[in-house]
Chain A
Amino acid sequence: MSSTAAKTPQKTKRKLENGKKKPKAPKDEFGEKLDIKPVITAPKPADEYDYDSSDEEDLRNTIGNIPIKWYDDEEHIGYDKHGEKIIKPAKKGEIETFLEKMEDPDYWRKVFDKQTGTDIKLTDEQIEKIHNIASGKYPTIGYNPYEPFLDIYSSQKEIHPIDNRPEPKARFIPSKDEMRMVSRMVHAIKMGWAKGPKEKKEAPKVYDLWASEDALDNVTKTQISRMRVHMPAPKVALPTHAESYNPPEEYLFDDEERKKWEETEKEDRVINFMPTKYDALRKVPQYDKFITERFERCLDLYLAPRQRKMRIHADPTDLLPDLPNPNDLRPFPTCLAFYMRGHTGQVRCITVEPERGELLASGGEDGTVRVWMIATGRCIKTFKMDGEVTSVAFCPVAERTLLAVAYEGKYVAILNTGCGDRLQNQQTEKLLAETPTESQEDGAVVTWRKSKDRLVLKMPNEVRQVTWHAKGDYFASVAIDDIAKSVYVHQMSKAKSQCPFQKRKGHVQAVAFHPTQARLFVATKIHVREYDLARCVLIKKLITGCKHISSMATDGNGENLFLGGLDRRFCWMDLQMGNKPWKKLKHHTAAVRSVAYHKKYPLLATVSDDGSAMVYYARIYSDYSKDNELYPVKRLRAHERTSNDLCMLHTTWHPTQPWLITAGADGTIALFTY
Chain B
Amino acid sequence: MELEYDPSESQKHVQITFFSNDSEIRVPDSVFDVPTSVECDDLNLLLNKTAAASDGNKIIFCSCKPMKNAADQWKDRRFEFLVGDTFLRTSLEEFIEEYEVGTETVVKVEYVIGIEAPKPVHDIQAPDWVSSVQICNGHIFSTTYGGDIVIVDKKGKETKLATSSADRLLKCSSIVTKPTKGATHLDGIEFLVGGENQLLTLYGIEKGALFEKVLLRGHERAVECVSVNSNSSRAISGSVDTNLKVWNLESSDESTTFEKDEEEKAQKRRKKETKTKVPMVTIGGHRDKVSAVEWCPWKSGNAFSCSWDHTIVEWDLELAGEVSRIKGPKSFTDIHIHPVNGLLISSCTDATPRLYDAKTRDGTMVKQSFIGHQGGWVESVKWNPLNSNQFVSVSTDHTAKMWDVRSSKSSLFDIHGHEDRILCVAWNEGLIATGSADCTIKVFETA
Q: Which A positions have Cβ atoms within 8 angstroms of B? A: 331, 335-338, 356, 358, 373, 375-378, 380, 419-423, 656-657, 673-674
Contacts and interface: CB of A to CB of B under 8 A. Distances in A.
A337 B240 contact: no
B349 A674 contact: yes
B198 interface: yes
B418 interface: no
Contacts of B139: none
A376 B169 CA distance: 12
Given A335-B375, A356-B241, A656 B288 contact: yes
Nearest to B128: A378
Q: Is the interface of A mostly helix, strand, loop or mixed?
A: loop
A358 B220 contact: no
B129 A378 contact: yes
B34 to A, nearest CB: 41
A173 to B, nearest CB: 117
A331 B308 CA distance: 14
A264 to B, nearest CB: 52
A341 to B, nearest CB: 9
Contact of B196 (A377, A380, A673): A380
Interface residues of B, number: 30
5 contacts: A335-B376, A336-B376, A337-B396, A358-B221, A421-B220
B376 A420 contact: no
B221 A421 contact: yes
A420 B220 CA distance: 8
A356 B240 contact: yes
A353 B230 CA distance: 37
Contact of A375 (B169, B220, B241, B289): B289
Contacts of B198: 421-422
Contacts of B291: 375
B346 to A, nearest CB: 16
B226 to A, nearest CB: 16
Contact of A356 (B131, B221, B421, B423): B221
A27 B56 CA distance: 130
Q: Choose among B129, B224, B240, B437 the residue with the greatest number of A CB atoms under 10 Å from its CB.
A: B240
Contact of A377 (B131, B169, B241, B421): B421
A336 B375 contact: yes
A657 B350 CA distance: 14
A216 to B, nearest CB: 70
Interface in B79-100: none
A657 B308 contact: yes
A358 B349 contact: no
Contacts of B125: none
A358 B220 CA distance: 13
Given A356-B240, A421-B220, A335 B350 contact: yes
B19 interface: no
A377 B396 CA distance: 11
A337 B376 contact: yes
B24 to A, nearest CB: 46
Contacts of A331: 330
Contacts of B376: 335-338
B348 to A, nearest CB: 9
A375 B377 CA distance: 11
Interface of B: 129, 131, 145, 169, 196-198, 220-222, 224, 240-241, 287-289, 291, 308, 330-331, 349-351, 375-377, 396, 421, 423, 437
Nearest to A356: B240
Contacts of B197: 422
A335 B378 CA distance: 13
A656 B310 CA distance: 11
Contacts of B377: 337-338, 673
A369 B168 CA distance: 19
B396 A338 contact: yes
B421 A338 contact: yes
Nearest to A419: B196
Given A378-B129, A422-B198, A356 B289 contact: yes
Contacts of A656: 287-288, 308
A421 to B, nearest CB: 5
A420 B291 CA distance: 16
Contacts of A338: 376-377, 396, 421
A423 B220 contact: yes
A421 B375 CA distance: 33
Contact of B330 (A358, A419, A674): A674
A82 to B, nearest CB: 116
A591 to B, nearest CB: 28
A601 to B, nearest CB: 13
B306 to A, nearest CB: 13
Q: Choose among B169, B396, B423, B437 the residue with the greatest number of A CB atoms under 10 Å from its CB.
A: B396
A423 to B, nearest CB: 7
A239 to B, nearest CB: 62
A371 to B, nearest CB: 11
Closest 3 pairs (CB-CB, A-B) = A673-B349, A358-B240, A338-B396
Nearest to A381: B169
A657 B421 contact: no
A358 B437 CA distance: 18
B330 A420 contact: no
Contacts of A337: 349, 376-377, 396
A475 B351 CA distance: 41
A356 B309 CA distance: 12
Contacts of B350: 335, 673-674
Contacts of B169: 378, 380
A376 to B, nearest CB: 6
Contacts of A674: 330-331, 349-350
Contacts of A377: 421, 437
Given A336-B375, A422-B198, A674-B331, 5 more contacts: A337-B377, A375-B289, A376-B423, A421-B220, A673-B330
A375 B308 CA distance: 10
A135 to B, nearest CB: 112
A335 B375 CA distance: 7
Contact of A358 (B222, B287, B421): B222
Given A335-B350, A377-B421, A421-B198, A657 B240 contact: no
Contacts of B145: 376, 378, 380
A338 B421 CA distance: 8
Q: Choose among A336, A356, A421 the residue with the greatest number of B CB atoms under 10 Å from its CB.
A: A356
A673 B332 CA distance: 12
B165 to A, nearest CB: 15
Nearest to A423: B220
A288 B24 CA distance: 104
Contacts of A421: 198, 220-221, 241
A421 B330 CA distance: 26
Nearest to A422: B198
